[in-house]
Amino acid sequence: MKKNIAIIMGGYSSEVEISLKSGAVVYQHLSKEKYTTYKIHILKNKWVLVDDNNQEYPINKHDFSTEIKGEKITFDCVFNAIHGNPGENGTILAYLELLEIKHTSAPFYQMALTFNKRDCLSVVKPYGIKTATSYYLDKGDIINVDAIIKKVGLPCFVKPNNAGSSFGISKVKTKEEMIPAIKKAYIEDSQILIEAFLDGSEITIGVLNFNNEIKVLPMTEIVTENDFFDYEAKYLGKSEEITPARISDEIHKKLEKTAIKVYKSLNMSGFTRSEFILVNGEPHFLEMNTVPGLTAASIIPQQAAEANISLQQLFDNAIEMALKN
């Protein structure tokens, strides 16, 4: 009997369209010989199974099932392709774990931890992982621009703490830009992370559980036309992504060791993509994405191709690892 696989996509965040594209790529490439695959759109106003004719069937939230032509469909495993809320922050995974339905992501607590940038950084620091100097703000806090600049310097980055992508991020170069940047970040989240600018190469590293082993994919160097790797750079072609990264063997080993250390210290499983800045040859950890983009233009598929791993192998492996747990 083929296993029924639900590919969940969409979500409640600004990244809904990217997630739908990622989910469609997973649906296209997952083995149809091994699995019976279904596209599930998780949206604020509806949860529906969408068939190849765009016919929609409501999902019963009591047991995460649906009915097609009088037949009840349940799922053996869920492939999580939801960027942001509720996929990347662990919310929907807690629900699936309550229903005892296996899924391709890390357990919900690990997902929630890594989605919260401040908490994630606070966990890895005691393991000797270098990070940027940071300043925290919560909505309603008094904003002391001079105190912020004294701690993190200029330029600096103002980021929403709990947003999964590059929405709401600003690079602040002058004192006058600080308040508008904070207001922009508050549109996405009630918590803000302000970080010192790290001057160095940006390297993004895919780490995943592949055939029961922690595997580091070929690394990607980000060279952006914009001031930083923002939404335009990430999704609208305003950056050059060089895989493998142009780094020495010595730096590569150091980055690989650090990326594995981060993955293990956060007790991760499934897909991850971690961002690092190389400052004078030392890796500084920025953040971890636990539902990275899986579209044709996305970095993890590029890195997998460089490692001679096809999309089918990549996605089938995620299901196989989930079913073994």
Beta-carbon count within 10 A of 240 CB = 12
* Cβ-based neighbours of 36, under 8 Å, separated by 6 or more: 2, 3, 4, 5
Q: Which residue has the tokens 């160097």?
A: 221
Separation between Cα atoms, residue 75 and residue 65, nearest integer Å: 7
Residue closest to 197 by CA, chosen among 240, 247, 135: 135
DSSP structure string for 227-266: SSS-HHHHHSS-EEEESS-S--HHHHHHHHHHHHHHHHHT
Cα separations in angstroms, 248 against 38, 122, 130: 43, 29, 20
Asked whether 306 and 243 are in contact (CB, 8 A), the reply is yes
Cα separations in angstroms, 42 against 8, 65, 231: 6, 13, 22
Question: Could you tell me the two tokens for 322?
Answer: 């989930």
CA 275 to chain CA mean position, Å: 10
Q: What is the 8-class DSSP label of residue 130?
A: B
Question: Could you tell me the two tokens for 81?
Answer: 């392709």
Amino acid 234: pLDDT: 46
Beta-carbon count within 10 A of 313 CB = 16
The predicted-structure confidence for 36-84, as pLDDT tens digits, reads as follows: 999 999 999 999 999 999 999 999 999 999 999 999 999 999 999 999 9
The predicted-structure confidence for 22-34, as pLDDT tens digits, reads as follows: 999 999 999 999 9
Amino acid 3: pLDDT: 97
Amino acid 237: pLDDT: 53
Q: What type of residue is 132?
A: A
Asked whether 292 and 315 are in contact (CB, 8 A), the reply is no
- Looking at the DSSP assignment, which residues form a beta bridge with residue 71? 68
Beta strands in 244-319 (DSSP E): 272-279, 282-289
Give me the tens of pLDDT residue by residue for the chain, a chain 325 residues long: 899 999 999 999 888 999 999 999 999 999 999 999 999 999 999 999 999 999 999 999 999 999 999 999 999 999 999 999 999 999 999 999 999 999 999 999 999 999 999 999 999 999 999 999 999 999 999 999 999 999 999 999 999 998 655 678 999 999 999 999 999 999 989 999 999 999 999 999 999 999 999 999 999 999 876 565 444 444 445 678 999 999 999 999 999 999 999 999 999 999 999 999 999 999 999 999 999 999 878 999 999 999 999 999 999 999 999 999 8
Q: What is the 8-class DSSP label of residue 197?
A: P
Helix (H/G/I), strand (E/B), else coil: 308: coil
Residue closest to 164 by CA, chosen among 224, 117, 232: 117
Cα separations in angstroms, 76 against 2, 96, 130, 153, 274: 10, 11, 40, 51, 29
Amino acid 166: pLDDT: 67
